Structure 1
Amino acid sequence: MVDTGDTAPDFTAPLANGDVDSITLSEELGDGPIVLAFFPGAFTSVCTTEMCSFQDQLSEFEDVGATVYGVSRDTPFTLNEFRDQNDLSFGLISDLNKEIIDAYGVEMDFDDLGVYGVAKRSVFVVDADGEVTYAWVSDDPGVEPDYDEVREAAAEAEAVEAAD
């Protein structure tokens, strides 16, 4: 599993942003920290609450120079509908083929539901140099991240970059 101090695995994937574009992590670096918020699935209760919480605090993340992205195995079309229904203005990355989940080591299964290979609820902050400066991974899909802690980690990553 990716941890603090590691180089963030690069990826290219579909980006649901109202349209469907492509995003490559390494091309997004340099403009401030990136927050990658992995979630098991769109339209589920805790995932919806989590993404809406990021939306509610989005201006605070932007104030510290951070860009937030959600990441799940849902299709980009599903993610666009999820964005629309929840008024999300940040991009959602579709990891349909589970390549990003595997690279970050955050796969989990819901055996009782017959659902396999979804993302553990987890958050990574990646600084402008591509280093993971914050990593939080939950084995309990019902637990949300500490949003203040994530924002503080993003602010610290931005402050270190500004000092360089």
Structure 2
Amino acid sequence: MELKIGDSIPSFKAKDTNGDDFDSQNLVGHKPLVIYFYPKDNTPGCTTQACSFRDQYEDFKHLGAEVIGISSDSVESHQKFSKQYKLPFILLSDHDKKIRKLFGVPSGMFGLLPGRVTYVTDKKGQIIMIFDSMMASKHIPKALEAVRKLVP
């Protein structure tokens, strides 16, 4: 079942870049979230997307939002990816694809690749924007525009 605008994001747990336990409930209710699902570390589109979120990260932080990237890559892969590109935000390892299924993220490229979808939630965890596109660079301005609308 795919999540839609107006739905609350489901509660989920995963290992973060440092191998620590991450619980979404520690952020929901405290700040807006930008949660983006991407296919794979160190691929051209995913690197472009991650670096674009990195380059705009201060803008998201300034607006009070947190950015979270999720793929099925291992914690070790995320550590290398994060270190190589100096990513300041959280990467989560969804190795069993449970979070992807929880959100209902569709596959891209005729089902050959895990989908690339960005969700923006308000402070309460309600989805205000969903952007589904394999065009990696287009996610960042869309997410930033949605977060800006949350700030009075």
Query: What is the TM-score normalised by the length of structure 2?
Result: 0.90
For the residue of structure 2 that corresponds to 1:150, the secondary structure is helix
Inter-CA distance 85–27: structure 2 relative to 1 (3 Å threshold) = same
Question: 2: distance between equivalents of 1:81 and 1:64?
Answer: 28
| 1:55 and 1:89 in contact (8 A); partners too | yes
One-letter amino acid of the counterpart of residue 144, structure 2: R
Contact (CA 8 Å) 2:38, 2:71: kept in 1 or not? yes
**1 CA distance for matches of 2:11 and 2:147?**
19
Alignment of 1:8-47 (within 5 A): 8-16=9-17, 19-47=18-46
- State the percentage of identical aligned residues: 30
CA root-mean-square deviation:
1.9
- Specify the SS of the correspondent of 1:119: coil
Instruction: Work out which of the two has the higher radius of gyration on C-alpha atoms and give 1 or 2.
Output: 1
Report the alpha carbon displacement of residue 158 of structure 1 after superposing the two structures with TM: 4.4
SS at match of 1:57: helix
* CA distance in structure 1 between the aligned counterparts of 2:140 and 2:97, rounded to whole angstroms: 25
Q: How many residues align?
A: 151
- In the other structure, the counterpart of 1:144 is 137
Maintained 8 Å contact 1:68/1:91: yes
Unpaired segments of 5 or more residues in structure 1? 160-164
The 8 Å contact of residues 26 and 130 in structure 1, kept in 2 or not, is answered as: no
- Spell out the pairing of 1:5-154 with structure 2 (5 A cutoff): 5-16=6-17, 19-108=18-107, 119-138=114-133, 141-154=134-147
User: Quick check: which one's strand share is greater?
Assistant: 1
Distance across 2 between alignment mates of 1:61 and 1:84: 20
Q: Report the TM-score when normalising by structure 1.
A: 0.84
How far does the alpha carbon of each residue in 1:113-157 deviate from its partner, in whole angstroms, 9 at most, with x for none?
A: xx96x531110012221211111112xx34433422211211223
**Which residues of structure 2 form unaligned runs of 5+?**
none
